[in-house]
């Protein structure tokens, strides 16, 4: 009996040591992940003299909160922030809705070219974004959409559709068909079947695709920098360039702008991060 007790105590001791080491490793990883954000926050509260004259890791000698006031009032960041919100939300809604239409048609309806259409979308996922800039620019130029937010919204939607469809299709294939068959037997139309039955059942994976699309759209730079030239339609990622001059660059203002652009994504990810994992694993088990 004493031998069993000793073995049990040894096991519990090793388990505590293992958990302690695990927590230490996780704490180190957390510090490594969080420190760049803390450093950027301190960076945004410094002036050029302090940034280049002192230690880059030191706390600000003078906390320059006016950097945030200046970029919001004088740097047109308020307009850029609104543009980012508008473009991001519009493109996300359009992408998820169209992807849901396509995925439903491919996975729940029987027609000859369904697999071929899915293959076309997956091929689109492999096309590099840089190879599309010139054709898209010429296309939007003919439609008079250069320097118009619609060019950004359409580009985001088209570029994000393949990934969104790929994520949704895994979940749609795992859905039980019995509920849909019963609804059809009761006289449910295909449109009512999609909007009132199938779409509500896919809420977990839709939340996942919304978050993924939102993060990409909010941080995107290339499309906006290529298709938008006026300050009226620029987003935050491109508006930062206003503080970069030929001879003088206001680095504190750039840091403040970066912090403003990061905060919405951090808030969304903090509250919805669990949804990403739930949505990605929701279709892993059939039934």
Alpha carbon 40 to its chain's center: 20
Residue 248 is predicted with a pLDDT of 59
pLDDT digits (tens, 9 = 90+) for 93-108: 999 999 999 998 888 8
DSSP string, 119-138: HHHHHHHTS-GGGGHHHHHH
Residue 287 is predicted with a pLDDT of 44
- Residue identified by tokens 């019995």 is 178
pLDDT digits (tens, 9 = 90+) for 120-142: 888 888 888 888 899 999 999 99
Q: Say how far apart CA 98 and CA 15 lie, in whole Å.
A: 50
pTM above 0.85, yes or no: no
Alpha carbon 12 to its chain's center: 42
Q: Say how far apart CA 148 and CA 146 lie, in whole Å.
A: 5
Output the six-digit token pair for 278: 């739930």
Contacts of 48 (CB under 8 A, 6+ apart): 248, 249, 250, 251, 252
Cα angle 280, 22, 285 (rounded to 5 degrees) comes to 20
Residue 143 is predicted with a pLDDT of 92
From first to last of its 287 residues, the chain has per-residue pLDDT tens of 456 565 666 667 777 888 888 889 989 998 888 888 888 888 888 888 887 777 777 888 888 888 888 888 777 888 888 999 999 999 999 999 999 999 988 888 788 888 888 888 888 888 888 888 999 999 999 999 999 999 999 999 999 999 999 888 888 888 777 877 788 887 788 888 888 888 888 888 888 898 889 989 998 989 998 999 888 898 988 887 777 664 457 788 888 888 888 888 888 777 776 666 665 555 554 44
- Residue identified by tokens 């950097």 is 67
Task: Count the neighbouring beta carbons within 10 Å of the beta carbon of residue 194.
Answer: 18
Residue 125 is predicted with a pLDDT of 82
Cα angle 236, 241, 247 (rounded to 5 degrees) comes to 160
Output the six-digit token pair for 197: 């039955």
Sign of CA dihedral 232, 237, 243, 247: negative
Give yes or no for a contact between 93 and 241, defined as CB atoms under 8 angstroms apart.
Answer: no
């Amino acid at each position: 009996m004493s031998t069993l007790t000793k073995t049990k105590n040894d096991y519990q001791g090793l388990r505590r040591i293992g958990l302690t080491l695990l927590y230490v490793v996780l704490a180190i990883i957390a510090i490594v992940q969080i420190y760049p954000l803390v450093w950027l926050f301190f960076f945004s509260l410094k002036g050029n003299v302090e940034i280049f004259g002192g230690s880059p890791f030191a706390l600000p000698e003078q906390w320059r909160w006016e950097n945030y006031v200046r970029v919001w009032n004088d740097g047109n960041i308020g307009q850029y922030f609104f543009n980012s919100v508008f473009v991001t939300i519009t493109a996300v809604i359009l992408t998820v809705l169209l992807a849901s239409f396509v995925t439903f048609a491919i996975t729940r309806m029987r027609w000859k070219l369904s697999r071929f259409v899915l293959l076309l979308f997956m091929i689109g996922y492999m096309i590099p974004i840089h190879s599309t800039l010139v054709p898209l620019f010429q296309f939007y130029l003919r439609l008079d959409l250069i320097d118009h937010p619609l060019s950004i919204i359409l580009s985001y939607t088209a570029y994000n559709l393949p990934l969104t469809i790929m994520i949704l299709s895994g979940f749609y294939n795992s859905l039980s068909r019995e509920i849909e068959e019963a609804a059809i037997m009761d006289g449910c139309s295909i449109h009512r079947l999609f909007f009132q039955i199938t779409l509500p059942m896919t809420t977990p994976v839709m939340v996942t695709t919304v978050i993924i699309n939102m993060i990409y759209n909010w941080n995107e730079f290339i499309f906006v920098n290529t298709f938008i030239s006026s300050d009226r339609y620029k987003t935050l990622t491109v508006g930062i360039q206003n503080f970069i001059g030929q001879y003088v660059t206001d680095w504190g203002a750039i840091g403040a702008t970066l912090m403003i652009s990061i905060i919405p994504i951090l808030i969304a990810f903090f509250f919805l991060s669990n949804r990403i994992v739930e949505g990605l694993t929701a279709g892993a088990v059939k039934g």
